[in-house]
Amino acid sequence: MEKKPHFVRRELLPREVPSISLALLLAAVLLLNALLYLYLNNFYNSLGRVETDPGLCPFGHFRFGAVKNCSPWLSCEAINREVRKLKCVGEGAVKKVFLSEWKEKKVVLSQLTNLELKEDFLHGLKMLKALQSKYVVRLLGYCEQQFTILTEYHPLGSLRGLNETLHIPKYKGMNTWHRRLMLAIDYVSIIRYLHSSPLGTLVMCDSNDLDKVLSQYLLTSDFHVLVNDLDALPLVNRSAGRLVKCGHRELQGEFVAPEQRWPYGDVPFEDDLMPPYDEKTDIWKIPDVSNFFLGHVEGSDIVRLHLFDIHAACKKKDPAERPSAQEVLDTYRKVLTLLIREAAMPGTREML
């Protein structure tokens, strides 16, 4: 008589249980990493600063608010006829700024205040036209004959008021290390864009102290950073041997880069003898500006710790040894990814 095969039920041994648990944990980690990758990829593309913006209009046009169609930049005639000044909201060495109204929408009208500085004003207009992107405030129109520029209005104002804004109850939820680091990433993205702009390598010269830097940028209602003032943006052209100098006066203080300071000790300053420099002056200032962005919220010291090495490199005395803006940006993004992953799965390392 043929014997039937005898099947024995195999029980899981106790030592196999941890192996299954480990496999499940690894699968969960892989799934989480995939979700984080998708999330961050969408985060950078939709909320971050990218050069290619499908919402941008062709050169010489703008799209305003919820309007789908692009309109031509407003001319002198249109500005004089359709724009109404409401009040003065700021005044600098070059221009006076007015909160204004156009077709029942708030806009900003900037007008030259000193004809001796008209070249600076016109240079800023030229940069504003040429650099329209997600990094730069939106140009709505201009009138060269009357030295007038019309731009989009951002009610949260310049970055100088960031900390005050974050203490308003409506925005307290934004006062986190994560959002503050994203603002720093926006700032470095703008520096990277200027250093590799369609016009060439541009240096942000209106940046001799922290307060001056912050005044050049706007905070948008959805908490991003835009560069607003482009009056002092000279071009570096290494192949042609062209470097820059930020102004004709002596610069002092630890905020400006070493190469921007008078190098000849007690010898009286002479502009003609001052050596020129390149865009690495912007890199020197990144740690100080980022330190402002990070503030003193929970988790900001951890972010600073992760950025310590790249910030130390930014402060190299020799400009050639400092990283590029792209390298700084890459590091910032890696730190953001790392910290989000660690926040999502605390203790994962210990479990593995």
The whole-angstrom separation of Cα 50 and Cα 132 is: 12
Cα angle for residues 208, 120, 71 (degrees, 5° grid): 110
Q: What is the mean pLDDT of the chain?
A: 88
Asked if 313 and 323 touch (Cβ cutoff 8 Å), the reply is yes
Q: Which domains does the chain have, with CATH numbers?
A: 70-153 (3.30.200.20), 154-344 (1.10.510.10)
Residue with tokens 């169609």: 69
Average of per-residue pLDDT across 336-347 = 83
Average of per-residue pLDDT across 233-253 = 93
Report pLDDT digits (tens) over 249-286.
999 999 999 999 999 999 999 999 999 999 999 999 99
Is the per-residue pLDDT at 126 higher than 70?
yes
219 to 107, 135, 223, 349: CA distances (angstroms):
15, 11, 6, 37
Nearest to 225 by CA among 47, 98, 81, 56: 47
Average of per-residue pLDDT across 170-181 = 95
The more confidently predicted of residues 110 and 31 is 110
User: Which pLDDT does position 25 carry in this prediction?
Assistant: 63
Report pLDDT digits (tens) over 96-118.
999 999 999 999 999 999 999 99
The whole-angstrom separation of Cα 89 and Cα 82 is: 20
Confidence of residue 141 (pLDDT cuts 50, 70, 90): very high
Average of per-residue pLDDT across 296-322 = 97
Query: Left, alpha or beta for 38 (phi > 0: left; psi -120 to 50: alpha)?
Result: alpha
Average of per-residue pLDDT across 173-189 = 97
Report pLDDT digits (tens) over 198-235.
999 999 999 999 999 999 999 999 999 999 999 999 99
Query: Left, alpha or beta for 339 (phi > 0: left; psi -120 to 50: alpha)?
Result: alpha
Burial 58-97 (b: 16+ CB within 10 A, else e): eeeebebeeeeeeeebbeeebbeeebeeeeeeeebebbeb
Is the per-residue pLDDT at 66 higher than 90?
no
Average of per-residue pLDDT across 135-158 = 97
User: Which pLDDT does position 234 carry in this prediction?
Assistant: 95
Asked if 232 and 246 touch (Cβ cutoff 8 Å), the reply is yes
User: Which pLDDT does position 8 carry in this prediction?
Assistant: 47
User: Which pLDDT does position 50 carry in this prediction?
Assistant: 45
User: Which pLDDT does position 343 carry in this prediction?
Assistant: 82
Asked if 89 and 97 touch (Cβ cutoff 8 Å), the reply is yes
Report pLDDT digits (tens) over 16-30.
556 676 666 666 656
User: Which pLDDT does position 183 carry in this prediction?
Assistant: 98
Report pLDDT digits (tens) over 34-53.
555 555 555 554 444 445 45
Is the per-residue pLDDT at 77 higher than 80?
yes
Among the listed ranges 74-78, 245-249, 342-346, which one has the minimum average pLDDT value?
342-346
User: Which pLDDT does position 84 carry in this prediction?
Assistant: 97
Residue with tokens 């010898």: 267
Confidence of residue 65 (pLDDT cuts 50, 70, 90): confident
Confidence of residue 239 (pLDDT cuts 50, 70, 90): confident
